[in-house]
Structure 1
């Protein structure tokens, strides 16, 4: 009876957390189907609409790190509820925005909702056995990320039904209301862990600690792009004349100084920690965190970037209207429903490293193929290539996160926050490339990044052991 109840609880919590992430993603990408409409109605330039796409992703980078710490400290239930409720406010402000600055600021703040991903990863890890966690996290991420595709499919027709030039505003407003309501529902229905055990809270919200000197060097290096993402944001705002050259320079200096100060503080704290002889049970490999972070940079980062730009790509290259462009573009996110769970399942079944290497190699080839796309191609061939690329991309993302929760269980929130942040950093970098180049260079850049990730993944070494309730230790993750 207890086993049956536990199984029911697993399904219930995975469903509840998946729906929360689904709504978060729907709110996060509620602008994408209306980019051309907003640009035309508010008389925005191509660079201004491009800046809106970038700022929509920017704060999710530090947000995933911060949210990861908060989840480890306070638990998924409280953090997810508060995030959904508070992020409904900038969604409302964006919906009623009448000038570019108002849209930019509200979109910048609203991008924080992208950090919701790491909350559910920790929650699923607490409820699902390690031998099945890859598949369960694939369902969570795959069906949750479908929120972007669902937004692309449903919001434009909804705006047309409402009618008038403000139809897009009402459609976006409704997604904010949905987030507000579900945030309250989540608080009263979710549980951090099964009833038979307590959630392993961390004692504070301090950043990740390295357990060896070499790991501390790696941690210092992989922390830099978090601040680099903020640098790209500052550059984008400066290029669009939102902030002056002097203010941009000052912002760069503040960001750089903050990085150096935080790294200095981290070095002092970690050196003292390492000198005290870290117990073997507390040790984990920072190199694995770095490799998985770079893998997510190219897989999920490219996915986010493409979801943001595909509707406009089809409108510009194939002269279709906004509804048709959004429907076609949604095919890239639609495959999340089954491809990401498939990536997790394949990793659970056939070996995580082996599957990830195969998927990275295939994906690099597919993106290279996309770099040759042009408007003279039959549109069905373009769609077919995009769908194939999407399938492998989602599966690779699922394969990566099937390993994240196996690195260090009680630090899963922070580690998934770091890896997840790299997905957003990737999207930010790829969109920045698109802002200063052509579509073919954009796709080729992603392909080269994936090839480099393939080479680094060859050095990945990850083992995971987890005790069952009867304290029998089993090897649950076959990597090689």
Structure 2
């Protein structure tokens, strides 16, 4: 690959792939969050109560955790071009279902299925990792993640306007359907515009599909342990949907779902063992080894960064309103705009975190951003009604910068662990982001906002300690071509 400079204004070679791929991610996030800014008018049209609205919001993320694992497996096996194109095309179908829904049940089913498109992020991590060298991987993944993630903000800003342009009580349906149409069209555009690798490069695939390959018995046990929180989170979501939560699922149905989740866990453990049993109990050559602790620490790092973002963005508008309405007259609209400032930093901070990681080292960047998250949330926990609003917003933006930069720093390292499993690693790390979101929002249901911020800060401290045990990528990772030729891929 060429050593040409990283030029965002270029639309050729690897830069074309980057632009085409972040736009695919952007569209997937517009579709995934197309309901959020229209929820009030949707609720009015279909006569939804508060419990049903909360159910729709929960269902939107319920499928994303397993979907990111599944998509990670598929992208490693079939390549990002086909996987992204198919995901966008299939994702448009439940989007149309949502737009045409005439009842809560139809709306809920469509929203549940749309959670799958939230896994699109994983695909681009593998695509960008194939096209960019190690010295540019951080900023490239940061641009991909930061600019693509802005799709949720774009949905919030554009879809209400689009619904008004279509007009009438049913305008929201046309606005939602239009996002599905864009995804369907772009599925074909993407397929015919990109390739999985640069010309002459090999797309390495896992030897076996269905689970990640590890290289020692200790790592096999570690891998199994790290899958437990994924299934525990699905159980928490089921609990939220049961009679003790929003009361969508009757008691017995919820018990059956809980049982099914843990049966799936046991099946997954069996699959992990099957994939690894033929080699993990035999000595593995040093050049083919990697340490699963690298993946585990990145899981935790993404949990405290993207997980915190998911949770805080959900509660921040109401927090600003409740804190400053009585003393400084902040309205709900103003509170919404102030709360949205947390996600706005994505455009700059996430690429910034990736760039810093490229320039100064992966471990150092993760240490700095987790320390920043710790300090940022400690400061946010002190916000009260006596603070000037502009100071509170400034502290929020500073905290947000470290959160978003942390996301960039995490994915600056993901493609440098084991090339043929980048999709699966990205999927597991991404799923932990959703685990964090569910964990922190569950904590929020039991504590005050101030205590909620302190809990996130406390978790950030433990993650910062864990980061000290991560190994800086150095030298080369080794992959074997189909003819047995060994290829050395530089990682620093």
TM-score in terms of structure 1 length:
0.91
Closer, same or farther: CA 329–256 of 1 in aligned 2, 3 Å: same
Q: Is the 8 A contact 2:301 2:463 kept in 1?
A: yes
Residues 261 and 204 from structure 1, CA distance in 2 versus in 1: closer, same or farther, beyond 3 angstroms?
A: closer
Distance 1:295 1:340 in 2: 14
1:40 Cα deviation from its structure 2 partner: 5.2
Residue 454 (structure 1) shift? 0.8
Is 1:197 the counterpart of 2:223 in the alignment? no
Tell me how far apart the structure 2 counterparts of residues 97 and 173 of structure 1 sit (CA, whole Å): 11
Structure 1 residue ranges without an equivalent (≥5): none
Q: After the TM superposition, which parts of structure 1 deviate over 6 Å for at least 4 consecutive aligned residues?
A: 1-7, 319-322, 471-475
Residue 252 of structure 1 pairs with residue 258 of structure 2: yes
Query: Does the 8 A contact of 2:68 with 2:428 survive in 1?
Result: yes
* Other structure's SS at 1:405 match: helix
Contact 1:152 1:327 in 2 (8 A): no
Q: How far did 1:50 drift?
A: 3.1
Relative to structure 1, the CA distance from residue 234 to residue 103 in structure 2 (aligned partners, 3 Å threshold; closer, same or farther) is same
Kindly report which structure 2 residues correspond to 1:60-459, keeping only aligned pairs within 5 A, or say none: 60-238=64-242, 239-267=245-273, 269-311=275-317, 313=319, 318=325, 324-374=334-384, 377-459=387-469
Aligned to 2:481: none
Deviation at 1:432, TM superposition (A): 2.7
Distance 1:446 1:104 in 2: 30
Residue 237 of structure 1 deviates from its aligned partner by 1.4
Across the two proteins, how many residue pairs are aligned to each other?
475
Assess if the C-alpha contact under 8 Å between 1:33 and 1:322 holds in 2: no
Task: Give the Cα–Cα distance (whole angstroms) in 2 for the partners of residues 448 and 87 of structure 1.
Answer: 37
CA separation of 1:425/1:314 partners in 2, compared to 1, >3 Å: closer, same or farther? Answer: same
1:189 partner SS: coil
The higher-RCO structure (CA 8 Å, 6+ apart) is 1
Shift of 1:151: 1.5
In 2, distance between residues paired with 1:260 and 1:74? 26
Tell me, in whole angstroms, the C-alpha distance in 2 between the residues paired with 1:375 and 1:43: 36
Query: Which consecutive unaligned segments of at least 5 residues does structure 2 have?
Result: 479-485
The TM-score, its normalising length taken from structure 2, stands at 0.89
Shift in alpha-carbon separation, 1:322–1:108, aligned structure 2, 3 A:
farther
Q: Is the CA contact 1:310–1:329 (under 8 Å) kept in the aligned structure 2? A: yes
1:42-57 matches, within 5 Å, as 42-57=46-61
Aligned twin of 2:482: none
Give the Cα separation in 1 of the matches to 2:224 and 2:294.
14
Per the alignment, do residues 374 and 152 of structure 1 end up closer, same or farther by CA in structure 2, a change over 3 Å counting? farther
- Whole-angstrom CA distance in 2 between matches of 1:157 and 1:316: 27
Q: Indicate the RMSD between aligned Cα atoms, in angstroms.
A: 2.8
